[in-house]
Amino acid sequence: MKRLLALMLGLLLVISLAACAPTGGGAQEEDTELEAQDYNIAVCIPITGTNATYAAYIKNGLEMALANLEKRGGLNGTGGKIILDFYDDNNDPKQGVALAERIVEDDKYLCEIGSFASPVSLAAAPIYNEAKMVQYALTSSNTRYLPIGEYCFSLSTTQDVSTANHADWQINYLGYKTFAVIHSNDDWGNESFDFYQEAIEAEGGTIVAEESYIAGTTNDFTAMLTTLKTVDADALMTFCGEDDLVMMMKQADMLGLDFNWLSSKKCCSATVIDQLGELAEGLYSLNNAPKTKENKVYADYFEEYIKVYPDSETTQKYVDQSYNCMLTVIWAIENGGVDRQSFRDTLASLKDFMGVQGTISFDPDTRKVFNEEYLAQVQDGVWVNIDTN
């Protein structure tokens, strides 16, 4: 009898262990479903001031990505939402610091996105890093930004890398040797010029003239354009915003001044073409991978884009960039970034993530973003990437 009882107990134990055994390659099946959870994110952008146009692009891109998230059922299909709170930093570093001090103290915020301008992001970065909260300055290309701390992230290629690409292709592919330069007299414009000059000289070229101006206050470029024409440079390189480049090129045309125009990646946008029309033809810049409907991410994005910009044939680069930013935020949350520290660590692990223009990866140590860059030219009203190989 005792022996029979022992056998029965052993059989029950085997059945019990079998029921608990892991299945599906080692992952234990769970009957419980994920619960919907909402996440709050602060967005600090220059809603008013000299860069308000860019803030509108950023806001629209972020909200388009959230519209697509809602269409697919929310975070991990649970209905969970991302709630954005927008703050106006007025393109002012002091205001950016004041907002950062408020945001880091509010426990509801998972991270902060912004600002558009590097000086604002640079000023606020130490506050976010001390609070161990991600500051996702999606458009900051300043080389001093990322080294501030491990909670700094950006989707912009740093200026040292981009200016080296400019110099390489302008000299070795386009064949230019001498350059005149116009740049904004601010942190971004001055740093861009310094790196560009160094890169041009490294490739054997020469900058023969330089002019700078105060962005947002200069509307008449005729005097400096007339001066630069007298130096007879092979090409005119510009480090400025979209509106300023448009004014420069229109005023040069009115004066009958003909330049081989080069622009920073900041102006590689559909907006510049729309505002310049035929005057944009031949303009060179840098661009990311081509936008194609064969990329499902871009196709989904374009579907939302034309609801906001119904007359567009292509998309604007800063809307693209903010859309990519929100896609990576969604990815990080859905892959375990549910508090400030885990969000930072998950975002830092991003590798070969498909965005609207090719893949995006972060260097796990420096957090530098890896985006393909191409020499691009306006041809027949669109930006065309050029094979320089």
The residue that leads in pLDDT, 165 or 3, is 165
Amino acid at 379: Q
φ/ψ of residue 284, rounded to 5: -105, 150
Average pLDDT over residues 5-33: 40
Q: What is the pLDDT of residues 144-195, one digit of tens each?
A: 999 999 999 999 988 899 999 999 999 999 999 999 999 999 888 999 999 9
- Which strands, in side-by-side order, build the sheet including 369-370? 353-355, 358-362, 369-370
| Structure confidence at residue 187 (pLDDT) | 86
- pLDDT exceeding 70 applies to what percent of the chain? 92
30: pLDDT strictly greater than 60 = no
Give CA–CA dist 5/257, Å, rounded.
103
| pLDDT level of residue 216 (50, 70, 90 thresholds) | confident
| Structure confidence at residue 33 (pLDDT) | 66
Average pLDDT over residues 334-340: 97
Closest to 197 measured CA to CA, from 215, 184, 175, 178:
178
What separation in angstroms does the CA of 131 have from each of 42, 144, 249? 14, 19, 45
> Where do we find the tokens 């041809």?
379
Give CA–CA dist 307/319, Å, rounded.
13
- pLDDT exceeding 90 applies to what percent of the chain? 76
Coil, strand or helix: which one is 328? helix
Give CA–CA dist 198/296, Å, rounded.
40
Closest to 356 measured CA to CA, from 296, 287, 273, 285:
296
Delineate the domains of the chain, giving CATH numbers in brackets.
Answer: 39-158+291-372 (3.40.50.2300), 160-290+375-386 (3.40.50.2300)
8: pLDDT strictly greater than 50 = no
Omega into 115 within 30° of 0, i.e. cis? yes
The residue that leads in pLDDT, 235 or 358, is 235
* DSSP strands (E only) in the chain: 39-45, 82-88, 109-114, 135-136, 152-153, 178-184, 206-213, 235-239, 261-263, 284-287, 353-355, 358-362, 369-370, 374-379, 382-386
pTM, entire model: 0.76
Residue 95 and residue 89 in contact, taking contact as beta carbons nearer than 8 Å: yes
